[in-house]
């Protein structure tokens, strides 16, 4: 998996996790869902995402072609 695929998987995981926590623990976990969405939205315009920075530091390889 490349950086972009890891980023999508990570964002999806965090959204699912925060929704499950909101339903089972406390609705305030939905703020985290909003944070993830806002971060994805701003990265579309600024081309900067903290998660990509961390994934690169972790040694995840850059893109290739997407088999979407």
Structural domain containing residue 47: 3-57
**Does some domain include residue 19?**
yes
**Does some domain include residue 12?**
yes
**Does some domain include residue 35?**
yes
**Does some domain include residue 9?**
yes
Residue 20: what pLDDT? Answer: 97
Tell how far CA 35 is from the center of its chain: 10
Q: Which range, of 23-27, 36-40, 46-50, 62-66, averages the lowest pLDDT?
A: 62-66
**Does some domain include residue 64?**
no
**Does some domain include residue 36?**
yes
Token pair recorded at residue 58:
């972790």
Q: Under 8 Å CB-to-CB from 26, ≥6 apart: which residues?
A: none
Structural domain count, the chain? 1
Q: How would residue 63 be classed by pLDDT, with cut points 50, 70 and 90?
A: confident
Per-residue pLDDT reduced to its tens digit, 13-45: 999 999 999 999 999 999 999 999 999 999 999
């Amino acid at each position: 998996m490349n950086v972009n695929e890891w980023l999508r998987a990570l964002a999806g995981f965090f959204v699912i996790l925060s929704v499950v926590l909101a339903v089972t623990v406390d609705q305030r976990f939905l703020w985290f869902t909003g944070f993830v969405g806002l971060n994805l939205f701003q990265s579309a315009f600024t081309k900067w995402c903290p998660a990509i920075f961390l994934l690169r530091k972790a040694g995840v390889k850059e893109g290739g072609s997407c088999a979407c």
